Amino acid sequence: MSARPLNRDPLNLIVTGVGGQGNVMISLIVGNALVSEGYFVTVGETYGMSQRGGPVMSHLRVSGERQHSPFIPEGCADVILGMEPAETLRMLGRYGNLRVVTIVNPRPIYSIDVTAGLAEYPEMSQLLEAIEELSAQTWIINATEEAQKLGDPMFANAILIGALIGSGLLPVDRAAVEGVLSDTFPKQIDTNLAAFSKGFELLQ
């Protein structure tokens, strides 16, 4: 299958969160779906103190023409998918620009320093306001809250993927992602597909 032309080539997507949220799984599912649609996808992963809830970031560079270097230059993100709001703001400061679009899950995950009282987590309304100010467009998706209604907060990953695909920011069909989800989670496919659909719904 030949890839449809991209508005920007490469299209640069950052998926950011903290260790244990499933950041790498999101990049794998989205990347595999894009490959199935005929695109070249290069993925670069960076890990902080992921075993202790440190930052984890995936760079996905999507092209209809060729493979690109795995890491997005600073200031050159087209889309940022944020699983954690403070990390989302941090990535916007480093990779954002006047055109960047942000999808963010507003559920905080506190670092050890915050839980020990050695640091303060930013006030959420101010955090989200800053994210909106630094983005050309922002969608706030309550993925963790909705995932808990489905029985497991980890379904937030499928919800966020649904929001990302539903936004139309990536040139990938819904069916392609559903196929990858089915292959990846055969024992929990019904709930993952429900979560994926919920992401589309929340985006509206």
Q: What is the pLDDT of residues 34-73, one digit of tens each?
A: 999 999 999 987 765 444 557 789 999 999 998 898 899 9
Structure tokens at 43: 């993925």
pLDDT in tens, 77-116: 999 999 999 999 999 999 999 999 999 999 998 877 777 7
> 87: left (phi > 0), else alpha (psi -120 to 50), else beta?
alpha
Beta strands in the chain (DSSP E): 11-18, 40-47, 55-63, 79-82, 101-104, 137-140
Model-wide pTM > 0.75: yes
Give one word for 103, left, alpha or beta, with left for phi > 0 and alpha for psi -120 to 50: beta
Asked if 84 and 21 touch (Cβ cutoff 8 Å), the reply is: yes
Which pLDDT score is estimated for 2? 52
- Spell out the domain ranges in the chain: 11-203
Q: Write out pLDDT tens, residues 4-44.
A: 778 899 999 999 988 777 788 999 999 999 999 999 999 98
How would CATH label the architecture of 11-203? 3-Layer(aba) Sandwich (3.40)
Contact 129, 107 (CB under 8 A): no
Peptide bond into 10 cis (omega under 30): yes
Contact 40, 1 (CB under 8 A): no
Q: Tell me the per-residue pLDDT of 163-177, one tens digit each, with 9 for 90 and over.
A: 999 999 999 989 999
